[in-house]
Amino acid sequence: MSGRLSLLVTTHRVAPGLLTRSAWQVLDDATTRFSRPEHPLLPALADAGLSVTTENPGPPAALARMLLDAAERGSVVWLVGDDGDHALTEALAPAMASRAEGGAEVELEVVHGSYDLPGARLLDVVAVMDQLRSPGGCPWDAEQTHASLATYLVEETFEALAAIDDQDPDALREELGDVLLQVAFHSRIAEESEERAWSIDDVASGLVDKLVRRHPHVFADGDAATASDVEKNWEQLKAQERPRSSVVDGVPLALPALALSEKLLSRSIKAGLDLEVDEPELPEDLDEAVLGALLFGVVSAGRRRGLDSETALRRFAHGFAEQARRAGLAATDG
């Protein structure tokens, strides 16, 4: 005698009831349907007029025996839980082999009723963050503010950069997860604002709008044949969206001093500002390695004299920013 046991796999990230045609066919043809009492698909099946016997599974081996017993008498469907019911599938193999020796064969099939779309796990990030932040969640998470989390945002970003430097893709994946956590965390905190609340959906919506708007060569009738064209168009569109009163507007002055200096110089050069910068005499064979050694030497010399190179360069960069701002305003007035 033979029967059939169908394991119906669905994802909780898709609305219950949005199932494949084959899944509805298997459910409709089944003699008996089983699931845990809390399965999210139950209301949809009830609306469709399909009865489901709910079970508190207990040990996987016992659940496997119960399902196979029922399958010997007809066609059975088990609604697989969100965790995939891996322990059940492991228990089914030896149980089916034992029954086959006695002549009671059961056909086992896995039916996929719904699938995760790319990015679906991001919904889990939002759900977990919401639980951590809500009453009854984590007391530490509940106490955090944008300000208290600021240092972690910086640290996680630099750890991701370190993984890139190390060419370690597994570490980069993990560190980017930590960066994503900061995005989700700040967004969840912002939802609670009584004045100007926004959510991670607003963050994502703004990002999508910006990407579409600044890639007219992809999403509209814009023209950009090279990466250089794309970068030029990007800057033009950005300037239209955010008109600046000076070339240094929008430069985050909290950047590390060296990165800040690079950014300020880049902006000034692109704007055509002729600002004098005292440059020391450098060796003819200057390359990245030589430049690195020179910079490190400057840091070492400053340290011996009790000076902090980061602070010194930052203060000078801030002065340069002010000089660039005045020069830009003067050029505009002229």
Residue 125 and residue 108 share a domain: no
Report if residue 218 sits inside a domain. Answer: no
Using a cut of 0.75, tell me whether the model's pTM lies above it: no
Out of 14-18, 38-42, 212-216, 270-274, pick the least confident.
Answer: 270-274
Percentage of the chain beyond pLDDT 70 is: 96
- Cα 122 from Cα 201, distance rounded (Å): 11
Across 241-252, b (16+ Cβ under 10 Å) vs e yields: eeeeebbbeebe
- Count the neighbouring beta carbons within 10 Å of the beta carbon of residue 192: 8
For the ranges 8-12, 120-124, 230-234, the lowest mean pLDDT is seen at 230-234
Query: What's the confidence (pLDDT) of residue 254?
Result: 83
Beta carbons within 10 angstroms of residue 95's beta carbon? 17
Provide mean pLDDT across the span 112-136. Answer: 93
Query: Do 70 and 163 belong to one domain?
Result: no
Residue 329: pLDDT over 80? no
Residue 269 lies in a domain: yes
Give how many domains the chain has, as a whole number.
3
**Domain termination residue (choose one: 169, 198, 227):** 198
Q: Is residue 313 part of a domain?
A: yes
Long-range contacts of the stretch 63-66 (C-beta < 8 A, 24+): 63/88, 63/91, 64/88, 64/91, 64/92, 64/95, 65/95, 66/34
Q: Does 13 share its domain with 51? A: yes
Higher pLDDT, 29 or 101: 29
Q: What is the pLDDT of residue 333?
A: 43
The dihedral of CA 298, 299, 303, 306: what is its sign?
A: positive
Only one residue has tokens 């990002």, namely: 207
Does 228 map to a domain?
Answer: no
Q: How confident is the model at residue 332 (pLDDT cuts 50, 70, 90)?
A: very low
- pLDDT reported for residue 334: 36
Average pLDDT over the chain reads: 89
Same domain, 108 and 144: no
Average pLDDT over residues 49-54: 95
Here the CATH number for the domain that contains residue 86 is 3.40.1010.10
- What is the CATH classification number for the domain harbouring 133? 1.10.287.1080
Domain residue limits at 282: 248-333
Query: Which two tokens mark 196?
Result: 């100007």
Specify the pLDDT at position 103: 76
Same domain, 9 and 102: yes
pLDDT at position 1 is 46
Residue 247 contacts by C-beta under 8 Å, 6 or more apart in sequence? 267, 268, 270, 271, 273, 324, 325, 328
In this structure, are 22 and 94 located in the same domain? yes
pLDDT in tens, 55-102: 887 899 999 999 999 999 899 999 999 888 999 999 999 999 888 777
143-154 in b/e burial notation, b at 16+ Cβ within 10 A? ebeeeebeeebe
Which of 50-59, 122-131, 159-168, 289-298 shows the lowest mean pLDDT across its residues? Answer: 50-59
252: pLDDT strictly greater than 90? no
Please state the rounded mean pLDDT for residues 247-272. 85
pLDDT at 17 over 80: yes
Does residue 129 surpass a pLDDT of 90?
Answer: yes
Examine the pLDDT at 200 and tell me if it is beyond 70. yes
User: Could you tell me if 29 and 50 lie in one domain?
Assistant: yes
In a domain, 299, yes or no: yes
Shared domain for 49 and 138, answered yes or no, is no
Q: Which of 72, 76, 3 shows the shortest CA–CA distance to 35?
A: 76
- Assess if residue 225 is contained within a domain: no
State whether 87 and 17 are in the same domain.
Answer: yes
Of residues 91, 90, 84, 86, the one with CA closest to residue 65:
91
What is residue 110's three-state secondary structure? Answer: strand
Query: Do residues 167 and 187 both lie within one domain?
Result: yes
If one counts every other C-beta atom within 10 angstroms of the C-beta of residue 230, the result is: 16
User: What would the mean pLDDT of 157-181 be, rounded to a whole number?
Assistant: 96
Domain stop point among 83, 112, 141: 112
Q: Report residue 263 CA to chain centroid gap.
A: 27
Do residues 116 and 11 lie in contact, with contact meaning Cβ atoms separated by under 8 Å?
Answer: yes
Point out the domain boundary residue: 168, 198, 228: 198
Indicate whether 131 and 174 sit together in one domain. yes
Question: Is there a single domain that holds both residue 166 and residue 89?
Answer: no
Q: Is residue 209 part of a domain?
A: no
What's the Cα-to-Cα distance from 328 to each of 106, 212, 240, 318, rounded to whole Å? 80, 31, 17, 15
